[in-house]
Amino acid sequence: MKALKIGVCGVGNVGGAVIENLTSSPQIVESNGGVKIEITQVGARKGKSAVPFDLDVTTNLLEVAQNPNIDVLVELIGGCDLAKDLIEESIKNGKNIVTANKALISTHGDELFDLAKKNGVQIGFEASVAGGTPVIKALREGLVANKVKWFAGILNGTTNYILSKMTDENSSFEDALKQAQELGLAEADPTMDVDGTDAAQKASILSALAFNTPFDFKSVAYGGIESVTPDDILYADQLGYSIKHIAYGSIEGEEVNVSAYPTFVSKDQLLSQVGQQMNALEIFCEDIGSTVYYGPGAGPKPTASAVIADLVDISNGGWPVLEDDIKKNTLCKEGKKTFSRYFKLDVKNEAGAIAKVSSLFAHENISIEALVQKESKQNSDIPSVPVVIISGPISDTNAFQMSGNLDSMEEITNSVKQFRIHNAL
């Protein structure tokens, strides 16, 4: 049987799950993958006490990168500093890399892949997006014969859990977040999940594969779910939508737009049915239409599953190595891509106010597809009424501008809210 000698750096939850899988049930990978994976060395900054396995442990991670007996370095320490040094040193020492590090790949991916190519080694990063759901494999291999037109994904489990909880149980954002934290689905500091950073990093990795763009997280536009209220979810439901945090990428000519925002998704779409902390990715290709991939997007065991799949792939020759002369497409932050929009306004309860709002839409040449003003039957003493407007397709720039214009109207009493509507066409 083939054999692969690996070094594992980082023994947190994911590193622990990788070691646990490979030492307690090696027969699964041997029988399914035809390879014996041997953990030759473990790098743990806290030393042997942090590694409850009978393995060679060093606190000097660079020692693993330089160990001549190791074929593949598995990087599970995270972050962009030591992780980058470690990977570069390993590559220079002729080792293949498997990593779950989305921050690193989405920021320094091009540099690292260039270095890997020069040194004749490969980098596996299936675990960096959608955890145990093999979406990188689908893009990199399964759909290799196709031109991807767009993708839409629920890539952050924490926000999907929070939005699902708000939808199913009418929880507030704060209560849902608290529950997610209690269940270990959100960090003590949930900023990176909740504000959209995590999903945007993953989306930039998908873009590199789907659209041949640079790995360039800085060119992804994104926003978080903090502004979604139970009211929005109720309006969405009445209009036939679920609210999901959707990472969306599309190509038009040689220009690629990638972004990640809370988004209305029509209930007849599979993505709208993805509940709890689950992830899903829809990939639309020119000739074959949509394929959808659904599964666990995080957690030690799903992430370990992806890491080990990469190791088996490396033992079987790895992945396509692309030519240098293929021109990359451009990733643009200012998206020309248009979406229909949900605008939520609080409008002064006075004659002519709604007419003035509608006129502004007409003036800006934005069509109104639907207008809901639910509480107009209530008594006329209340100072303002909530109004929901579904607009025709407009770009992000126009939508932000329109929100600003509405905000500055004296008939609008509260900050205007605006979300995209995903139409899978």
Residues that bind its own copies (CB under 8 A): 1, 21, 25, 28-35, 126, 132-134, 137-138, 141-147, 212, 270, 273-274, 285, 287-296, 299, 301-302, 304-306, 308-309, 312-313, 315-323, 326
Q: Backbone dihedral region of 78: left (phi > 0), alpha (psi from -120 to 50 degrees) or beta?
A: left
Q: In angstroms, give the least distance from the CB of 64 to its own copies.
A: 21
* CB 120, CB 94: distance < 8 Å: yes
DSSP output for 245-310: EEEEEEEETTEEEEEEEEEEEETTSGGGG--TTEEEEEEEETTTEEEEEEEE-SSHHHHHHHHHHH
Residue 305, phi then psi, degrees to nearest 5:
-55, -40
Q: Which is nearer to its own copies, 122 or 197 (CB)?
A: 122
Q: Catalytic residue among 202, 244, 337, 417, which?
A: 202
Nearest to 125 by CA among 106, 146, 148, 153: 106
Residue 16, phi then psi, degrees to nearest 5:
-60, -40
Neighbours of 195 (CB within 10 A): 16
H helices within 183-252, ranges in order? 191-194, 197-211, 230-239
β-bridge partners, 278: 296
Q: In angstroms, give the least distance from the CB of 354 to its own copies.
A: 37
Q: Which is nearer to its own copies, 278 or 387 (CB)?
A: 278
Separation CA 354–CA 348 (nearest Å): 8
Q: Which is nearer to its own copies, 249 or 302 (CB)?
A: 302
Q: In angstroms, give the least distance from the CB of 252 to its own copies.
A: 17
Q: Which is nearer to its own copies, 173 or 294 (CB)?
A: 294
* CB 355, CB 280: distance < 8 Å: no
Q: In angstroms, give the least distance from the CB of 424 to its own copies.
A: 13
Separation CA 17–CA 384 (nearest Å): 54
Active site annotation includes 149: no
Q: Which is nearer to its own copies, 326 or 351 (CB)?
A: 326
Q: In angstroms, give the least distance from the CB of 379 to its own copies.
A: 41
Q: Which is nearer to its own copies, 253 or 320 (CB)?
A: 320
Q: In angstroms, give the least distance from the CB of 132 to its own copies.
A: 4
Neighbours of 112 (CB within 10 A): 22
Active site amino acids: 202
